Amino acid sequence: MPEVLIVGASFAGLTAARELCGRDVLIVDRSPIGAHQTSACALPLRLVRWLGAEESVLYAESRMRVEIGDAQWNVRLPEEFAVIDYAACCLAIAQQTNARFEQVRVVGRDRTTVLGSSGERLEAEWLIDASGWRRVLDSAGPTRGSQPSLVIGTEDHVPTAAAPHADGFAFYLGKHLLKSGYGWSFPAGDHVRAGVGSFIKEPLQAPMSRLRQQDELGPGREHHGGAIACIPRDPVADNVLFIGDAAGQALPVTLEGIRPAVYFGASAGRLVRHALVGGLTRPQAQARYAALHHQHLGGYERLNRVQRWYRWLPEFALKRLATKALGQPHADGRETSFRSTRYLDVLRAEHLAPLP
């Protein structure tokens, strides 16, 4: 029996496994590591470096364009953001672990036994659920995609030659695209990742066609999409630690989920490691992880409130809010900076204090 069983070999699960290097860890996933991209994969470049996955970077830039209808802001970010190759990043993190990997589709849990779809029965001293929004180890069974609290997103990978207007990171907040959500266009080496995300589960086909039309995009060569869990859920239940989207830790409004998945994955991995070497009891490690999650609930609630109101905000009000945050819009190449960097300062795995 391994010391730790991690379900889900993506950002949260692999980061936790990295912190547990040297211990007896088994990671299971329904797909081979890195096989199914779950994200547009934009994240702070510093975090990619911290993960030891710099070779996965396809594009990095410290500016972004925000468009709301005919108003445009060119924003200088306080740091560089990167777009990464998902498979290369996952494999780079996996290489820094000594965890064993098995391909198992988990269908649920019978008390302390994790159940696989082919009859597998897996046990470990510690169970970590990093299975994303499905939260497959929840005692009530996996979450369904129809769950109203989930946000949805979809994305095309369009070859750069077929994306004539692609020019750096772009965010489209205009209400002509979606009632409640936003569109994006991120350069990623030989292609552009163009997608839309809806806070209220609007059907995404029509907004995606509008985005294609607006940016005169050619056909995509790859397509993926899924749900994002931004409403925090119990981080510890029945002795299972839930990390990343499995604990609803993606950031509302921006839908940035990688940074929190890595932050909470690293924290959980460190605490379990500390418990395994006798520095903490199991209840102490669980309580410290739960406290860390709860410490951020106020921020999640504030952002979730904005996300709930978003559908009722008319475009002129959105422009007014953007002007307050970014100054007057401009289309002549002038740049502005964020007035506050508070949002970017939280949930930074690079700032986590090391445990003894």
Residues that bind ligand FAD (CB under 6 A): 7-13, 28-31, 36, 38-43, 105-106, 130-132, 134, 136, 153-155, 195, 225-226, 228, 244-246, 250, 255-259, 261
Kindly tell me which of 110 and 332 has the beta carbon lying closer to ligand FAD: 110
Kindly tell me which of 126 and 182 has the beta carbon lying closer to ligand FAD: 182
SS3 letters for 293-351? HHHCHHHHHHHHHHHHHHHHCCHHHHHHHHHHHHCCCCCCCCCEECCCCHHHHCCCHHH
Rounded Cα distance between 28 and 32, Å, is 9
3 state SS of 3 = coil
Tokens coding 218: 């050619």
DSSP 40: -
Rounded Cα distance between 338 and 127, Å, is 40
Kindly tell me which of 132 and 220 has the beta carbon lying closer to ligand FAD: 132
Rounded Cα distance between 294 and 199, Å, is 23
Q: How far is the CB of 254 from ligand FAD (least distance, A)?
A: 8
DSSP 23: S
Kindly tell me which of 30 and 319 has the beta carbon lying closer to ligand FAD: 30
Residue 157 CA: distances (Å) to CA of 86, 172, 301: 13, 17, 33
3 state SS of 186 = strand
Q: Which residue type is seen at 169?
A: F
Kindly tell me which of 47 and 280 has the beta carbon lying closer to ligand FAD: 47
Kindly tell me which of 13 and 220 has the beta carbon lying closer to ligand FAD: 13
